[in-house]
Amino acid sequence: MLEFELNAWRGSFHLLVAGRFGAEWTVLFGPSGAGKTTLLRLLAGFDQEHLRGFSRVTFNEIPLTDVERGVHVAPAKRAIGMVAQQPALFPHLSAAANVAYGLQKLDRATRARRVEEMLDLVGAAELAGLRPHDLSGGQAQRVALARALAPEPKLLLLDEPFSALDGQASDLLLDRLKTWVRTHGVQTVAATHDVSDALSAGAEVLLLREGRRAAFGPAAEVLASERARLLDRLGSA
């Protein structure tokens, strides 16, 4: 269970939003600039200097952020995995070394096994020895996902992580990922501005507009008007 009340100022942008996510998979939906990335970064423990007043985040009843009580758990100690829109792979390390970066505490054999398993999961096993500058955008996003999953986080935050993958590849990867998070009991919050992505996830949706919660509930309800608009466009095509 992820619960939060956030009040943050970033320049002239004001995010004021509260939520209680209990579903396995929750989608943050909203147009560009709605505050999706800001919200995910605050949940991950970044940019805490932007928080004001009563802001707080708890995950499985453990306080991660509480401004009033001065609680700020460091990003590394939140058991969170995050994949941003830009894969941010370490450029001087191979894909395998990128995935292994967060596994320092494991012994060498377990680490190698986990890296192989993760690259296999995201369909990037053959990329293990390549450096990021030799990867396409989609391949880099796969490796970034493997890197985030490797330490087996409890909460996974995805910020439009498949934007560089084509529809079919993206659907396939999403299916594999959903099976994996379900098996490993990982709660996921995924941000998207693509209505078909949000609907296909069949999850709970938090609709964000200009830093405020516009709606929250099952995808079919929250995105009914967006769905109708999409169908209308497809019908007129």
Partner 1 sequence: MEWQAFFLTLRLATVTTAILLAAAIPLSAWLVLGRALSPRAAGWFAAVEALATLPVVLPPTVLGFFLLVLLGPRTAFGRGIAALLGHPLAFSFDGLVVGSVIYSFPFAVQPLVAGFAAIPSSLVDAARLLGASPARMTLTLLVPGARRSLLTAGVLAFLHTVGEFGVVLMLGGDIPGSTRTLSILLYNQVENFDYAAAERTSAILLTLSVLALALIYSKAQKRGARSRA
Applying CB under 8 A, the residues found at the interface with partner 1 are 44, 46, 49, 74-76, 80-82, 84, 86, 88-92, 101-102, 104, 147-148, 151
Residue 181 contacts residue 160 (beta carbons within 8 Å):
no
In 30-79, the DSSP E strands lie at: 56-59, 62-66, 71-72
Sorted by sequence, the CB contacts under 8 Å of residue 190 that are 6+ apart come out as 25, 26, 27, 28, 157, 158, 161, 201, 203
Q: For tokens 């992820």, what's the residue?
A: 2
Sign of CA dihedral 176, 112, 45, 211: negative
**Residue among 213, 191, 164 nearest 43 (CA):** 191
Cβ proximity to partner 1: between 65 and 198 the closer is 65
Q: How far is the CB of 213 from partner 1 (least distance, A)?
A: 25
Q: How far is the CB of 216 from partner 1 (least distance, A)?
A: 26
Cβ proximity to partner 1: between 92 and 113 the closer is 92
Q: How far is the CB of 39 from partner 1 (least distance, A)?
A: 15
Cβ proximity to partner 1: between 128 and 155 the closer is 155
Q: How far is the CB of 176 from partner 1 (least distance, A)?
A: 22
Cβ proximity to partner 1: between 46 and 54 the closer is 46
